[in-house]
Amino acid sequence: MNHPHPELGLPPRLEKGTLRIVALGGLGEVGRNMAVFEFDGQLLIVDCGVLFPEDTQPGVDLILPDFSYIRDRLDDVRAIFLTHGHEDHISALGYLLRERADIPVIGSALTLAFAKGKLRDHRITPITIEVKEGQRRKVDPFELEFVAVNHSIPDALAVVIRTPAGVVLHTGDFKMDQLPLDGRRTDLARFATLGSEGVDLFMVDSTNADIPGFTTSEREIMPVLDRVIAASKRRIIVASFASHVHRVQQVIDIAFQHNRKVAFIGRSMVRNMSLASEMGYLHIPPNTLVDEDEIDEVGDGIVLVCTGSQGEPLAALSRMANGDHRIRVGDGDTVILASSLIPGNENAVYRVINELTRFGARVVHKGNALVHVSGHAAAGELLYCYNVVKPKNVMPVHGEWRHLRANAELAVSTGVKRDRAIVAENGVVVDLRDGRASIVGAVPCGYVYVDGQSIGDITEASLKDRRILGEEGFISVIVVIDSQTGKIVAGPDIHARGFAEDLGLFDEVKGRIESALAGAVASGINGTHQLSQVVRKTVGSWVGGEHRRRPMIVPVVIEV
Please report, for the chain, the start and end positions of each structural domain, with discontinuous segments joined by +: 19-213+374-453, 218-364, 460-559
Q: Where does 26-72 show beta strands of DSSP type E?
A: 34-39, 42-46, 62-64
What average pLDDT does range 129-147 have in this prediction? 96
Which H helix or E strand runs over 521? helix 507-522
Alpha carbon distance 276, 110 (integer Å): 7
Distance CA 368, CA 388 (A): 36
For range 365-391, the mean pLDDT: 89
Distance CA 433, CA 168 (A): 12
Q: What is the pLDDT of residues 515-524, one digit of tens each?
A: 777 677 667 6
Nearest to 54 by CA among 346, 403, 453, 471: 346
The mean pLDDT of 320-332, rounded to a whole number, is 84
The CATH code for residues 19-213+374-453 is 3.60.15.10
The residue that leads in pLDDT, 540 or 101, is: 101
Residues 6+ apart with CB under 8 A from 49: 25, 26, 31, 32, 33, 34, 65, 86, 87, 88, 89, 90, 91, 92
Task: Quick: pLDDT tens for 469-486.
Answer: 555 666 777 777 766 665
Q: In sequence order, what are the residues at sequence separation of 6 or more whose Cβ sits closer than 8 angstroms to the Cβ of residue 149? A: 156, 157, 158, 171, 172, 173, 174, 186, 187
Which of 291-305, 388-402, 403-417 shows the lowest per-residue confidence on average (mean pLDDT)? 291-305
Reduced to 3 states, what is the DSSP secondary structure of residue 175? Answer: strand
Task: Indicate whether 211 pLDDT > 80.
Answer: yes
Average pLDDT, the chain: 85
Give the residue-averaged pLDDT of 282-292: 90
Residue 39 has pLDDT above 90, yes or no: yes
At residue 1, the pLDDT reads 38
- As assigned by CATH, the class of the 218-364 domain is alpha beta
Confidence (pTM): 0.81
Q: Output the pLDDT for position 451.
A: 65
Q: What is the 3-state secondary structure (H, E, C) of 438-457?
A: EEEEECCCCCEEEECCEECC
Instruction: Report how far residue 411's alpha carbon sits from residue 418's, in angstroms, rounded to the nearest whole number.
Output: 8
Average pLDDT over residues 181-186: 90
Q: What are phi and psi of 266, to 5 degrees?
A: 105, 135
* Strand spans (E) along 178-235: 201-205
* Average pLDDT estimate for 122-139: 95
The full length of the chain comes to 560
> For residue 464, is pLDDT > 60?
no
Region 460-559: CATH code? 3.10.20.580
Residue 454 has pLDDT above 50, yes or no: yes
Are 11 and 429 in contact by the 8 Å Cβ rule? The answer is yes
**What are the CA-CA distances from residue 36 to residues 21, 166, 260, 440, 456 (Å)?**
6, 16, 47, 15, 20
The residues pairing with 130 across neighbouring beta strands, listed in sequence order, are: 107
> Which pLDDT score is estimated for 342?
66
Alpha helices by DSSP H, listed for 282-395, are: 295-298, 316-322, 346-358, 379-389
Average of per-residue pLDDT across 244-272: 90
The per-residue pLDDT for range 53-103, each reduced to its tens digit, is 666 665 666 788 999 999 999 999 999 999 999 989 999 999 999 999 999
